[in-house]
A and B are shown apart, each in its own frame.
Chain A
């Protein structure tokens, strides 16, 4: 969180185990105050992240892919805990996907921006701007899905607060760790671990979160989270993942469109 590896404000932690019940690690169990702190950090970082050039954001994401590449084996071990699919291939695809998003940072405006014809002596431009702070409730069983959830808003200039999967948080934690060594400015990517039932309502009710990706929650929680998000006027997405078409839709999800009128010079 905010470029540091902090424990929960509450001091709580919990154990995670693998499929056979063997102990894997102790992880922090975040409280609602940790959510608050993470959102404050993300909000503070957002203006600077968006003010950086799209090229620079792309370089940072490329660097993340490189760091992930160098720790591929470790990622594989942790992804294997969570996923039924072949972990080596899943990690390789996930890294490729980071590179794919890195390439998108300076192309989003080209694809989603436009010059609009108007009946008057004006130039009229629409250009995409980020929503702001996006919360991601991480997909529990797909690392590639998590990459989609996190990288799409980041590439568009949003800052992100991830609530990692409750049972298998280590891939998300590793991603957070990699982001710090990959030169992400503090606060751009924040990862919380803990109970989804406890954290998700706080995230969705938080009025300073502009968008939320609910792909990681099951149907039982969905209704409540949707209504909490509506209360605070959030953009909500709960989508499939892992195809290029879906990824493009994701890129577009946490984008607002700003239209500018400019007089035509004489």
Chain B
């Protein structure tokens, strides 16, 4: 199958300190489905009570004053501004792109967001609207959101998005296959899509709400990273349960452990259900405490959202000016 190996010793961040680890290649070469199965089942189970207690504890952290302002700006720079509606129009995407380039028209100091995330047919519109900016174009592909199509169709979807100018591909895994235990199929699909992506960044959506258990999410995270994901992403935003802090923590722990073993930092994207600044800052705290400060950058952590950006801007306004803004101070799209 595919090889993920680190041939030299590597440095990874853990709690802010850098430690050097010996390479352990033997663990990371995936040569057969049976071996993949053995590898994933060798992962220890998640202590759900401990996990939730840790999340609850970290959620009580309060960021104040200048730290809060820095965190708000950081969060804005990590947003993948998303519109994934059947009713999307080129006009709506264009206005979203303008907002992505300059989130607050009154204040040039507000950083641009990380990316705009759209369906493949609107990638070219976003590409044009974002020309000359540092905002990336991300596209969902591979039969988003269900992932229920043949591999050929999924690859064609990816090709189309890339041809239109996408910098990043958000793919969904085949949850049906994963839950039925056909891990090899899920793995091979990710490998094939990664090969198709070339230099484009690949985000693999696990859809934690459909995987249901923490153990499944841990296994799926490892599977995606072994198959070559640049990012692992919580959700599509299209099912009942979206991103939650405990699921994000499980994924961040997997990322941390994978970086130690493979020497390759993988990013995490949370999507769906992150609507206000307070939630976003909680995620940043969990990121910092789990994988360290290196991940506090748009290269390694993203938040997929639409309404979140306005709340971040409103909190920023409040912090800077000391008064609460009008509810329509910032544009809807």
Contact = CB atoms under 8 A, between A and B. Distances in A.
A36 B314 CA distance: 12
B326 interface: yes
Which of A40, A206, A208, A232 has the largest count of B CB atoms less than 10 A from its CB? A208
A207 interface: yes
Interface in B45-63: none
Contacts, number: 20
Nearest to A209: B324
- Tell me the dominant secondary structure on chain B's binding face: loop
Most B C-beta atoms less than 10 A away, residue of A39, A43, A206, A207? A207
Contacts of A39: 324
Contacts of A36: 324
A interface majority secondary structure: helix
A205 interface: yes
B128 interface: no
Contacts of A43: 327
B176 interface: no
B323 interface: yes
Interface string A208-219: 100000000000
B332 interface: no
B323 A206 contact: yes
B323 A232 contact: yes
Interface residues of A, number: 10
B172 to A, nearest CB: 33
Interface string A226-248: 00000110000000000000000
Instruction: Categorize the interface residue count of chain B.
Output: under 10
A121 B329 CA distance: 37
Contacts of A208: 324-327
Interface string B316-333: 000000111111010000
A208 B329 CA distance: 9
Contacts of B322: 205
Interface string A36-57: 1001100100000000000000
A199 to B, nearest CB: 13
Contacts of B323: 205-207, 231-232
A206 B327 contact: no
Of B324, B326, B327, B329, the most chain A CB neighbours within 10 A belong to B324
A249 B52 CA distance: 56
Nearest to A204: B323
Contact of B329 (A40, A205, A207, A231): A207
Interface string B293-333: 00000000000000000000000000000111111010000
Nearest to A232: B323
Interface string A20-42: 00000000000000001001100
A60 B324 CA distance: 31
A36 B325 CA distance: 10
Nearest to B323: A205
A43 B326 CA distance: 10
Nearest to B328: A208
Contacts of B329: 207
20 contacts: A36-B324, A39-B324, A40-B327, A43-B327, A205-B322, A205-B323, A205-B324, A206-B323, A206-B324, A207-B323, A207-B324, A207-B325, A207-B326, A207-B329, A208-B324, A208-B325, A208-B326, A208-B327, A231-B323, A232-B323
